[in-house]
Amino acid sequence: QKEVEQDPGPLSVPEGAIVSLNCTYSNSAFQYFMWYRQYSRKGPELLMYTYSSGNKEDGRFTAQVDKSSKYISLFIRDSQPSDSATYLCALYTGGFKTIFGAGTRLFVKA
């Protein structure tokens, strides 16, 4: 079993839709939960990080962590074509090693 499971998609939505991206994990030692966005042929860029359970909002993006279910989500409101990218969840125990999900490819159609 992989430490982090993420549906690779692709996920295709119309412009303006609410997008829900999810990851599940198995190691309860993970304390920090991050979402990265990666455009084609570019390096990942950090979108959001959260510590412990709960919600965190930043503009059109909301990150949600449920540690009891080992489930994390990223919601994108009012999705735009410029949001089309691969979204990677990433989990960190507080040492040095970050574990990435496989990424979900998102397409937002104009």
Partner 1 sequence: DTGVSQDPRHKITKRGQNVTFRCDPISEHNRLYWYRQTLGQGPEFLTYFQNEAQLEKSRLLSDRFSAERPKGSFSTLEIQRTEQGDSAMYLCASSSPGTGGTDTQYFGPGTRLTVL
CB nearer partner 1, residue 14 or residue 43: 43
Q: Which of residues 37-76 bind partner 1 (CB under 8 A)?
A: 41-46, 49, 51
Instruction: Decide if 33 contacts 86 (C-beta within 8 A).
Output: no
Nearer to partner 1, 40 or 68 (CB): 40
Q: Which stretch binds partner 1 (CB under 8 A): 54-62, 63-71, 72-80, 90-98?
A: 90-98
- Angle (nearest 5°) at CA 45 between 43 and 47: 160
* H-run or E-run covering 22: strand 19-25
